[in-house]
Chain A
Amino acid sequence: SAVISQKPSRDICQRGTSLTIQCQVDSQVTMMFWYRQQPGQSLTLIATANQGSEATYESGFVIDKFPISRPNLTFSTLTVSNLSPEDSSIYLCSVGRGEKLFFGSGTQLSVL
């Protein structure tokens, strides 16, 4: 299994500010994935973060709104910028290990 430490676990932010979420993995991984889960909804992939290259964003998600850093093979950050109430969601990082996908515990973001 993979041990993934994600923080903060929750935050309440004001409209127009930004939140940076950190994800630390217990061993090196090539790809890290960032998902968003809106209340009562499924998991939607935001982007794939590769070390040494720019993240690959899914349709509907842009780098200006969701900048991602991947400075090494065990760490990544996701920033949610210029927050609006519509950004209130749970954000999860995940990594693949073998056939399995493991998730961090998530960051619950509420925007006022």
Chain B
Amino acid sequence: QQPVQSPQAVILREGEDAVINCSSSKALYSVHWYRQKHGEAPVFLMILLKGGEQKGHEKISASFNEKKQQSSLYLTASQLSYSGTYFCGTEQVSGNTPLVFGKGTRLSVIA
């Protein structure tokens, strides 16, 4: 079941903050966040496994709610290098199962 990502696209000026959401109708085993720049492969950012977990550093961090149905990615004081498409990938069961990806959020950071 494909997770729902929002917003679809966002434009920021350098230094502004953004939040990208990823939600599922069922409890998840894990949520993975990836960033893909144009013409490149997706790159792993972080994984969240526990309900209530928060992870990352002050600039890029993520949370996983207690019910394990929603995750949010926080981009703080955005930089030009943050531009790209962000995907969440989810697992509903454990065990090296393939990820199901959301439709992505296109983030553009402008000077």
Interface residue ranges, A against B (CB under 8 Å): 30-31, 33, 41-45, 48, 92, 96, 99-106
Contacts and interface: CB of A to CB of B under 8 A. Distances in A.
Nearest to A96: B96
Given A103-B42, A104-B41, A106-B41, A42 B101 contact: yes
A30 B96 contact: yes
Q: Is the interface of A mostly helix, strand, loop or mixed?
A: strand
Contacts of B40: 105-106
Given A31-B96, A96-B96, A101-B32, A41 B41 contact: no
Interface residues of B, number: 21
Contacts of B50: none
Given A42-B103, A101-B99, A92 B41 contact: yes
Contacts of A106: 40-41
Contact of B100 (A41, A45, A103): A45
A1 to B, nearest CB: 9
Contacts, number: 45
B96 A33 contact: no
Given A101-B34, A103-B42, A106-B41, 18 more contacts: A33-B98, A41-B104, A42-B2, A42-B101, A42-B102, A43-B42, A43-B89, A44-B101, A45-B99, A92-B42, A99-B32, A99-B49, A101-B32, A101-B99, A103-B41, A103-B43, A105-B41, A106-B40
A48 B98 contact: yes
Interface of B: 2, 30, 32, 34, 40-44, 47, 49, 87, 89, 96, 98-104
The listed residue with most A CB atoms (<10 A of its CB), out of B42, B44, B98, B101, is B98
A42 B87 contact: yes
Given A31-B96, A45-B100, A48-B98, A101 B41 contact: no
Nearest to A6: B41
A1 B101 CA distance: 21
A99 B96 CA distance: 8
A95 to B, nearest CB: 10
